[in-house]
A and B are shown apart, each in its own frame.
Chain A
Amino acid sequence: MTSTSPANPAEQHVAPQADHGDPAKGLIARIAEGRAWLFLAGLLVCFEIWSRLAFGATFVLNPFNLQSIAIFAVAPLLLATGQTFVIISGGIDLSLGFIMGLAAVIAAHATNMAGAAIPLPLAMLAGILAAVIVAGVPGIINGLLISRLKVPPFIGTLGMFGVARGAAFLLAGGTTVPVQNSWFALLGNGKFYGIPYLVLITAVFVIVMHYLLSQTRFGQHNYAIGANVQAARRSGIDIKGHILRLYVLSAMCAGLGGALYAARFTAGAAQAGEPLLLDSVAAVVIGGASLFGGSGTILGTVAGALVIAVIQYGLVFVNVEPFWQFMAVGVVIIISVLIDQAQRRFSGGRQDE
């Protein structure tokens, strides 16, 4: 042993270990990955059968139902796209709901104010822009708190939840702010070949966000930070800058959500996003992300948001008391997480040592 000849490394050779290419594991992993879409398909089938038995009418093929579900899904989905990025990075953003409310109020005020000076379509754009930009401010503060001052995301954004809530109600004067702008109303309720403008805008936005997460360095670094922040730092990734941009991004998603809310109801309300925050987290989790960070996709989140919208709309459609919605969504979240756990155990992924 004292002088193992380094000249003959072949002796030391150990055959590379077999890859873990077990096809069964691959299948389980694939099912787990697409579970949100499976849930969605299952739900649609259930409601279709229910609807046919109870009313003798189709559920899925009724365009009005599809439009309504899509409209239902818009606001939670916009919050959830930003939330997806944050959760993948290992954080959470609890302030999104009231940032959305703040943005809705800003959008209403700004559109009205601009409408007095410039043509209505431009005033509408100004209102939306103002909402998204103002929403970025709490995002910047969140980002600075979390990246520079090392405040845990849960606490930092919880604080911002309160601040944004107060600011939104103060700006709204404790009431809803109606919008006087026919273009804005058209944006919120008009359709293009049967597809509501709101849904189109959201679809385009979601595609851009999907690109950002799956095809850019920003997205790649987001996954790396969520999995192993030390590794990301050692690889030369600017963690502080990334976290700051991340929370600004998620706040701006909420800002767009608020602007579209104001368009849909032609009014800005501070409580616009109040019930949507937890829906957004639920959509991300149902969509396959882990709250520990490092996994998740925008497409999964889209499915997650649609699952929630289908449950909410579908149960109303088949005339079930609305309180069942909460239970149904809750059960789906729990099942979703159980599948995730099972998949982790089966796929031979190392548990944390």
Chain B
Amino acid sequence: MNNTDQTTPLLEVRNLSKHFGAVRALNDFSMTVRPGEVVALAGDNGAGKTTLIKAISGVFQPTGGEILLRGQPVAFATPQEAREKGIETIYQDLALADNLSIGANIFLGREPMRKAFGFLPVLDRKAMAEAARETMKRLDFHVSRLNAPVSNFSGGQRQAVAIGRAVYWDAQILIMDEPTAALGVPEQRKVISLIHQLKAQGRGVIFISHNLQDIFAVSDRIVVLRRGVQAGERKISETNHDEVVKLMVGG
């Protein structure tokens, strides 16, 4: 993994701060994500992980510091802007419309249209289903019932749909907030293997988890936050559970 150190980072966060009044939720924080790299973000509750990802994904405007995308400074007024630049956040609650198909979820808000009878604009469900099949195949995920609402699928499959949407719209950086939290063990392993797929496709992943086993199974580096500041950064190959826990609790 050392050779990636030379490439331009996909995402670079420099001295980022976010203050809410007197509360310094995030203070002078820096990190980088390179192509094909999975960076785990760890920290106790209230350590500033959520503030950080919200600042990166355009939900919050940072108080200070800068965000660089492939070396270019960027500022996002809204999450939509961040998404257009290729930063996709996959939230815990998945942000799927349960009653719609995989394709409809992938295209939600930007549905393709076609002309029926040569004049009447209608939703192009075939194109949506086709794109859904293709995308899920790229994630090595095979679903046969493309018209079924996603509520019929399991937690891991739904997670895959959320990731699939990001992949379809060519997100280069995926921020995943506790993607394995609500899942059973086999499903967790499936999500871990999805993250490996993303990595193999050269995307950058910021992976937030409480589960150290998952972090060690999938990440290249781990960045630990404590009370809004960076408490440490380690290569996964050069650290262990105990050290990470110590960084998290400040022991």
Contacts and interface: CB of A to CB of B under 8 A. Distances in A.
A1 B216 contact: yes
A3 B236 contact: yes
Interface of A: 1-4, 6, 9, 12-14, 16-17, 19-21, 211, 215-217, 220-221, 223-224, 226-228, 230-232, 234-237, 294-295, 347-350, 353
B240 to A, nearest CB: 6
B98 interface: yes
A295 B186 CA distance: 31
Interface in B87-127: 91, 93-100, 104-105, 108-111, 113, 116, 120-123
A2 B241 CA distance: 8
Contacts of B200: 9
Contact of B111 (A13, A220, A231, A234): A220
A211 B186 CA distance: 42
Contacts of B98: 227-228, 294, 349-350
A14 B193 contact: yes
B43 interface: no
A177 B141 CA distance: 65
B123 A215 contact: yes
Given A13-B193, A17-B157, A227-B97, A235 B108 contact: yes
> Which secondary structure dominates chain B's binding surface?
mixed
Contacts of B192: 12
Interface stretch (B13-21, B46-54, B148-156, B170-178): B148-156
Given A6-B220, A19-B145, A224-B100, A217 B111 contact: yes
> Which secondary structure dominates chain A's binding surface?
loop
Contacts of B154: 17
10 contacts: A2-B240, A3-B216, A4-B216, A16-B140, A16-B143, A16-B190, A20-B152, A216-B121, A223-B97, A227-B98
A216 B193 contact: no
A226 B111 contact: no
B99 A226 contact: yes
Given A6-B220, A20-B153, A217-B123, A227 B110 contact: no
Contacts of B83: 236
B217 A295 contact: no
Given A17-B157, A224-B100, A228-B95, 17 more contacts: A3-B237, A12-B193, A14-B190, A14-B193, A19-B143, A211-B120, A211-B122, A215-B122, A220-B123, A228-B96, A231-B96, A231-B97, A235-B109, A236-B109, A294-B99, A349-B98, A349-B151
